[in-house]
Amino acid sequence: MESCGIFGALMLNGENAVPYVIEGLIALQHRGQESAGIAYVEKEELKVYKKMGMVTEVFGNGVMKKFKSFNAIGHVRYSTRGRSDIQNSQPFHVRFRNEHFAIAHNGQIENAEDLRNYFEKTGTIFLTETDTEIILHMLIKKLNKRISKWTLEDIAQIIFENIFPSYSLLILFKDRMIAVRDKKGYRPLFYYVSKEGYFVSSEDSAFNFLNAASEKVYEINPGEAIEFSVHGVKKYRVPDTEKMFCFFEHIYFARPDSNIFGKNVHFVRKKLGELCARENPVDADIVVPVLDSGFSAAIGYSKESKIPIEMGLMRNRYVGRTFISPDQREREIGVKRKLPPIPEVIKGKKIVLVDDSIVRGTTMKKIVKMLKDSGAKEVHVRIASPKVINTCRWGVDIPDKRELIAANFSLDEMVKEIEADSIGYVSLKSIKSFLMSEYDNYCFNCFIENIKRVNTR
């Protein structure tokens, strides 16, 4: 499962864990809006409830009341490449020799195809199209004992040795919950300890509703597996290796109020905006953010450049599918509905247009045209990240190289292509100067010219 969100709760105070998990999933909704599901324990038996749709739709109409469990895990899913289907939605649930466990996964397993082929050679079949299912098979094949006898060490060793990153996992058993973060640490994973219970989440901001004091919130270490039960917390950890924190989590994926890989997301984005301004100064009247994604970076750009932020584009909350048929309108109106321009602000202005990243460039081209149509004198595109020139095999939904504008065009060609007056990015060098020694803990693979990365555990 690629970019998704996971949340788990194991209560110590007799409360029902399910509402907590659902509330946590709502807080992680930005990580996946396609399907939502939970695994929980009912009368000693593991059950799963999942459905296509947003969290509030899936659990609305009082459906939640049916689920009572002292421990539970949940998942919100963002699917890529159209395989949007209930059978691929999570958590997955396995019965083996009359015992059960369930799993929820955020990430993308690098050696999935190899493992799948390996298993298929032995006659193993796959009922889903997800890489997550591989973990289920791996655990069962390697552990020749009853599920209830599996120890934290058993599970952690098998996963760390056989499953290549990226994965942040939650595994639910009827009496415990195990959180696992891969050795590279691609995807974030946090836990919070209170007297009410134990909580695990993809992002720490999802503990907000618990009024969690920040000192009781811990980032699970890369290569660490933690077991939560009524008997307390048990940890297992493999020796440190090279880290690979996904920098795209900072650029785009995580919530601005989350603190991942030791840094506040908004702070990083703002800093990237500053770096962008330093590397790509321009004489302009206003800084216009592409809301909401470009807001943090625009604050940084504005701060560094002293050019004031302005609302050249508003962000319309009430958009959905259009009811106008394509042949009723010559031009598509999608961008105009979502980001309506404010001509009063734009007219006659030299504009710095700030966004977090460019992938294909098609939306950016429409925005630039819209601004020009609204009277902008100049539009200078400033991107608060490096050029995206490679796809990602660790869980970020980036299309094939052939579709990436920066992989196929020079800067000058891009300027022409999107009909802007200039384009500026942030260099990796600049990011290195900002992150300093931490630079080496990150994965910048999608920005790097020649990747020589080999598959590694």
Q: Which of the residues 73 through 112 are near a second copy (CB under 8 A)?
A: 85-87, 92-97
Q: 190 forms bridges with which residues in the sheet?
A: 201, 219
16 or 422, CB closer to a second copy? 16
Tell me which residue of 146, 182, 202, 153 sits closest to 31, measured CA to CA: 202
User: Minimum Å distance from CB 444 to a second copy?
Assistant: 23
User: Minimum Å distance from CB 212 to a second copy?
Assistant: 11
Q: Is 171 in the site for a second copy (CB under 8 A)?
A: no
23 or 110, CB closer to a second copy? 23
Q: How far is 27 from 107, CA to CA, in rounded Å?
A: 18
Specify the DSSP element, H or E, that contains 76: strand 71-77
- For β-strands 190-193 and 197-201, DSSP reports them as antiparallel
Which 3 state secondary structure label does DSSP give 113?
helix
Report the site for a second copy in 255-284 (rule: CB under 8 A). Answer: 255-257, 259, 264, 266-267, 270
276 is catalytic: no
Measured torsion, CA atoms of residues 325, 326, 330, 332, in degrees rounded to the nearest 10: 110
Q: How far is 342 from 450, CA to CA, in rounded Å?
A: 42
30 or 401, CB closer to a second copy? 30
User: Minimum Å distance from CB 403 to a second copy?
Assistant: 20
Report the site for a second copy in 414-453 (rule: CB under 8 A). Answer: none
Tell me which residue of 219, 224, 200 sits closest to 210, measured CA to CA: 200
* Residue 443 marked in a binding site: yes
Q: How far is 200 from 9, CA to CA, in rounded Å?
A: 6
* Beta sheet of 35-42, edge-to-edge order: 45-52, 35-42, 71-77, 5-11, 197-201, 190-193, 217-219
* Binding track, positions 237-256, relative to a second copy; x by CB under 8 A: ------------------xx
Query: Residues 180, 234: contact at Cβ < 8 Å?
Result: no
Q: Is 133 in the site for a second copy (CB under 8 A)?
A: yes
Q: Is 12 in the site for a second copy (CB under 8 A)?
A: no
User: Minimum Å distance from CB 408 to a second copy?
Assistant: 27
Q: Is 146 in the site for a second copy (CB under 8 A)?
A: no
* Residue 175 marked in a binding site: no
335 or 398, CB closer to a second copy? 335
Q: How far is 77 from 381, CA to CA, in rounded Å?
A: 31
106 or 296, CB closer to a second copy? 296
* Residue 69 marked in a binding site: no
Measured in whole angstroms, the distance separating CA 149 from the mean position of its chain's CA atoms is 33
* Residue 356 marked in a binding site: yes
144 or 450, CB closer to a second copy? 144
* Residue 276 marked in a binding site: no
Report the site for a second copy in 20-79 (rule: CB under 8 A). Answer: 20, 22-23, 26-27, 29-30, 33, 47-48, 50-51, 54-56, 59, 61-62, 64
User: Minimum Å distance from CB 186 to a second copy?
Assistant: 23
* Residue 292 marked in a binding site: no
- Binding residues for a second copy, total number by CB under 8 A: 94
User: Minimum Å distance from CB 72 to a second copy?
Assistant: 12
* Binding track, positions 299-338, relative to a second copy; x by CB under 8 A: x--xx----xxxx--xxxxxxxxxxxx--xxxx-x--xx-
User: Minimum Å distance from CB 79 to a second copy?
Assistant: 14
Q: Is 17 in the site for a second copy (CB under 8 A)?
A: no
* Residue 204 marked in a binding site: no
86 or 411, CB closer to a second copy? 86
Tell me which residue of 193, 6, 23, 192 sits closest to 102, measured CA to CA: 6
* Piece in contact with a second copy (CB under 8 A), picked from 17-25, 172-180, 232-240, 416-424: 17-25
Tell me which residue of 425, 278, 417, 442 sits closest to 356, measured CA to CA: 425
9 or 443, CB closer to a second copy? 9
Q: How far is 316 from 323, CA to CA, in rounded Å?
A: 17
Cite the beta strand spans of 173-257 per DSSP E.
176-181, 190-193, 197-201, 217-219, 224-229, 232-237, 245-246
**Catalytic-role residue among 2, 3, 4, 236:** 4
User: Minimum Å distance from CB 240 to a second copy?
Assistant: 26
Report the site for a second copy in 185-214 (rule: CB under 8 A). Answer: 205, 208-209, 211, 214
Question: Which own/partner pairs from 446-454 qualify as long-range (CB within 8 Å, at least 24 positions apart)?
Answer: 446/248, 446/388, 446/389, 446/390, 446/391, 446/392, 446/396, 446/398, 447/247, 447/385, 447/386, 447/387, 447/388, 447/389, 447/390, 448/389, 448/390, 449/389, 451/390
Q: 37 forms bridges with which residues in the sheet?
A: 50, 75
Active site residues: 4
